[in-house]
Structure 1
Amino acid sequence: MELHGLHGQVVERIGESLAAQEIRAGQVLRLEDVQDRYGVSRTVAREAVRVLESKRIVTSRPRVGITVLPMAEWNLYDPQVIRWRLASPFRSAQLRELTELRAAVEPCAAALAAVGASPDTRNTLVELARTMESIAHTDDTQGFIAADLAFHRALLNASGNGMFAQLSEVTEELLVARRDLPLMPDHVDTDAVRRHTEVAEAIAEGRPDDAAQCVRAIVDSAHREVEQLLEGGAHCALSSRPMPERGDAT
């Protein structure tokens, strides 16, 4: 959920500072510190702290103050937390974690979809893969990545596993980040596009092992691309550059 208003701006600035380790775990803040640092009222400061508490980033106790929790205790699946980490100088760790999560979940989701998805859902995946293939031959990068997002969202939903489906926001952040950082190759990988079609066809034809194997190949290929770009110094050159605003397409 995107936060708006003054307290949302304060949450955003504090979150970015926390992810960049400018404010460290164990550090104790007072509500007055938040007021003074960001020039806001006590009501706004208190609301910002409440939001950070809901994300398990800080804990607030009487006569102690606002204590920053270790990152391991944060809600690391929160899309806003993911974006803060991706905007920080430590973005490579978050990118790798997202890739590893995707590699663990999506092949299983594809296998489940091949076994239990409805005919309409199977057809939808085939159509989304065809859309990706069609757009891949144009210069519409935004349209292509929007189709890619739609495909992977539909794949997780098709698994029939509600917990997998709710991870779609999390895994989408990786695809969004690859555009925004940027960490994508100059040209669309036609092999990756073909694999999406193979995934959809395997699901449509009820071949769970093939569906899982094809998804695994997609994720492995994307992981190698990110690693190569990071090793090439992209993360260093971008470490101080703010993230663009997140759009609907990636």
Structure 2
Amino acid sequence: MSSRLHSLVIENLGTRIVSGELAPGTSLHTDSIEEALGVSRSVVREAVRVLQSLGLVKPVPRLGLRIRPRADWNVFDPEIIRWRIASEQKGAQLRSLTELRAAVEPAAAELAARHSPDDIAAELMAVAARMRAVGRSGDLQTFLELDIQFHSLVLAASGNEMFSHLRNVIGEVLRGRTDYGLMPDHPHEEALQLHVDVANAIQSRDPDAARTAMDRIMRRTIAEVEQVWLDTPREH
């Protein structure tokens, strides 16, 4: 019960902060949170620690909590990403994450072709083959899990721990794309083939082909979802 209430407080405050309902600079008293959500002080205290670690709030003596500006948020945290995708910031979040993927994943594929262990390269081929079969069947939920697995394997196969650590970030954007109806009912045949091409290039130790195929996947992805953010201004 305590764990559930703890999650409830985090979810409630986190979504309200990320959506802008609680604007930067707003002050909150912990006793008002306790009363509004019907939870104990210890539950609020633990939830605040989590929100503080995400850069969303700052404890202020005698005032309670102060909402921190977006520049202070841990924008790579999967929970913040999930909350942003579920809010009116969906376009901006999908744009920034897709641009991040476009910059990182072709490089990761190239490195994977140079450094991937044989067992991971073989697993990539197997996952790509399953993706093609499942994609043709229209089972989007299974396809999503395979797609996350595929891109996570490429990042891991690169041998770069910084790239590998982005697997949860990329998993969230792939889930968001599916959950909000931004995936076609049946993935395009070219996209399915490109995943096979990436896996084959990695297994064949062809860095240039691996980078090129992954870059084409990213360019297709941008073309398919950019309508979500076309009218969204950039923040500087």
Bucket of the pairwise TM-score, normalised by the shorter protein:
over 0.9
Checking the alignment, whether the CA contact within 8 Å between 1:110 and 1:156 is kept in structure 2 is yes
Pairing 1:70-149 to 2, within 5 Å after superposition: 70-149=69-148
Question: For residue 24 of structure 2, what is the aligned residue in structure 1?
Answer: 25
Question: For residue 244 of structure 1, what is the aligned residue in structure 2?
Answer: none
Per the normalisation by structure 1, the TM-score is 0.87
Unmatched segments (≥5 aa) in structure 1 = 236-250
1:39 partner amino acid = G
Q: Cα RMSD between the aligned structures?
A: 1.8
Distance 1:229 1:190 in 2: 23
**CA displacement, residues 66-105 of structure 1 (integer Å, 9 cap, x when unaligned):** 1111112111111111111011112110011110111111
- Give the drift of 1:56: 1.3
User: Which of structure 1's runs of 4+ aligned residues deviate more than 6 A?
Assistant: none
Checking the alignment, whether the CA contact within 8 Å between 1:27 and 1:68 is kept in structure 2 is yes
Question: For residue 151 of structure 1, what is the aligned residue in structure 2?
Answer: 150
- Give the drift of 1:33: 2.1
Per the normalisation by structure 2, the TM-score is 0.92
Question: For residue 35 of structure 2, what is the aligned residue in structure 1?
Answer: 36
Q: SS state of the match for residue 112, structure 1?
A: helix
Range with greater deviation from structure 2 (216-225 or 36-45): 36-45
Distance 1:131 1:25 in 2: 46
Checking the alignment, whether the CA contact within 8 Å between 1:185 and 1:225 is kept in structure 2 is no
Distance 1:71 1:230 in 2: 19
Distance 1:12 1:229 in 2: 25
**CA displacement, residues 17-53 of structure 1 (integer Å, 9 cap, x when unaligned):** 1111000111111111211222222111111111101
**CA displacement, residues 119-152 of structure 1 (integer Å, 9 cap, x when unaligned):** 1121111111111112222132222222111111
